[in-house]
Structure 1
């Protein structure tokens, strides 16, 4: 390998996941480079570029989405790393998302909304192993609670031959048959946006009748949805960084330790209006939790919540803990932390301003609480979204 490795990046930029991968690669190059990067606009479904066969390079990082692309990369004989994992049988080392904690995070979030009925909306079996795994893990978690998970994987349609309108009508018909209220995990944000659109067609209220959570946290797609889509951030910048590190070792003559490396857990949930609901039978408990979620960022205290209880305020704390599995104080802190993380990831506001907007009186106290819960300072957490 020459002193400055020549590396090709076959990674699309049309979605936040691909852009996150590139941010992680850029951070690795800044810390361990230099690399001579060959990069040009590339779509996920594009054919392998013609120049690849004769390219005088040292390594390749790619989102491999077809056997044709995998074969073209393997034929170069160059070290390469796949950062998609859509083809489980090809011989390229893979680094990607650990889907078990992704499913766990989605399930726990919907359960905290008091949801008792669950669904999963994905893509046809075999189209992408990662999306299959998200479905399998989510269905298993629901089954462990003694419940059935209603699934729609689009087997009855093909996006290549069926129009958007037809597919949305079929999805709306499926939604119309579900028990309500229901919480639905989708395999990614694109599917989440489709589900929200289909809910409108079916006359279903989001989030009161259908709560929806996606995966990837593409801020543009999530905030263009109606209502805005709650989503899980799977930390693609870390995957990009580690894939670059693996490629560097391979280019230096090393070997991949195993065929696939799964990175996790996901960075967290970006809560938006699509899951802003509570389905709890105890109306007073539901009212108390809703009050917390609406006012936690205003400097709310536990006594403020208890004093609002008209019936048996002395038992409210215990009933809330039975419903959520945590105390009122813990719920206040959870809501404040969720707000703080969203502001840190999606705005450039100063830390002191975020501390106030999240309901913490003092920036120093905010930093202490944040570090205790997240293991890093607010500034360190924010830098992870800029890498």
Structure 2
């Protein structure tokens, strides 16, 4: 009888990203398991568990956040994978998200609001390489379009961490100096919630003056924020599944093909009130965009959108394309497909039902449009991106 592998999961439960990793591992176990799991709830900054020193298991999946944790894992000699990526040069395989498409999705979402001013709020440089890259890619995208990106990263911790009040005052002062209206991306939901709180302190209206998008889509934190916070779902369960799959191979004696594996793109954007802004000077185009976003999934056509405006159809179409870079029809299709992708990933609705709910006349036409724009069928997309 084949021995059941004993695997330790040193993954915190306090963050949505980490919980998503665990869901991915659970999916792997349902499909390929079983494993005997060593797991106890803990925080990201907790020290290594006492039992790890003498543990005789077969594999470890860990969110390594300190040199102490890294050294104890390496000392075991057991096959292990890092799911944090916080330590540069760590001698463990790392699996994580590709931050370039995350930054691109965030920037495009803010740019589509008609914004011309952009900013990024992150954590101190060097604290986490992944968050550094998220900022770097966002800044590059803004600058490629000929704009300036204002950045606040905070200071490295010296003897003691700055208090919450000190951090909020620093963020509020930064916000007051930004050109407005402004679109802000934050490195993760924790930072996004801080920025929204600082906006209230500085009497800066969200989303009228500031539009904010964060990363990780922790629904509890996003909905506790005022206003509720738009966030990018990076699909962490996919990372967890891939890590479990790699660890399974390592426990069978196979070495990983590479030390760093980045998976993407993100699943999509969970749009909430923090980005319900349209910073567009053209009243007719703004009205058309709002009408599309509110009614695209009800089966509206370009003619219905034009009928809402005072401008002549050809004039509105020209101005619309000049501002957004796409036609009215293309914008309707984009909004419908964004909704369809979320339904494919988060529900059990069949493709025909999703076609109806997203405003497509026929399932066959929906499938054709989806494949044309996404490069895969709707069924393939669901299999690739749905949560565990």
TM range (shorter): over 0.9
1:41 aligns with 2:41: yes
Distance 1:24 1:376, change over 3 A: farther
Shift of 1:54: 0.7
Q: Match for residue 51 of structure 2? A: 51
Q: Could you tell me how far 1:292 is from its partner in structure 2?
A: 1.3
* Contact persistence 1:104–1:141 (CA under 8 A): yes
Tell whether the 8 Å contact from 2:346 to 2:387 is kept in structure 1 after alignment.
no
The corresponding residue for 1:381 is 382
Question: How far did residue 308 of structure 1 move?
Answer: 2.5
CA distance in 1, matches of 2:240, 2:129: 19
- TM-score w.r.t. structure 1 length? 0.92
Question: Separation in 1 of the partners of 2:98 and 2:380?
Answer: 26
Does the 8 Å contact 2:102/2:134 carry over to 1? yes
- The answer as to whether partners of 1:180 and 1:210 remain within 8 angstroms in 2 is yes
In structure 1, runs of 5+ residues without a counterpart are none
Partner of 1:12: 12
Give matches, 1:68-87, under 5 Å. 68-87=68-87
1:79-228 equivalent positions in 2, closer than 5 A: 79-155=79-155, 161-228=161-228
1:311 to partner: Cα distance? 2.6
Query: How many Å apart are 1:208 and its aligned residue?
Result: 2.0
SS at match of 2:37: strand
Conserved? CA contact 1:48–1:72, under 8 Å: yes
Contact 2:351–2:378 (CA under 8 A) maintained in structure 1: no
Q: What is the CA-CA distance between 1:355 and the residue it aligns to?
A: 5.0
Moved more, 51-60 or 277-286: 277-286
State the Cα distance separating 1:68 from its structure 2 match: 0.4
Paired residues in the alignment total 387
Q: Distance in 2 between matches of 1:128 and 1:329?
A: 41
Deviation track 1:252-279 (CA, whole Å, cap 9, x = no partner) reads 1122222211111111112222112111
The range that moved more, 313-322 or 66-75, is 313-322
Who is 1:332 aligned against? 332
Q: Which moved more, 1:97-106 or 1:303-312?
A: 303-312
Q: Contact conserved, 2:119 with 2:149, CA < 8 A, in 1? A: yes
Match in the other structure for 1:242:
242
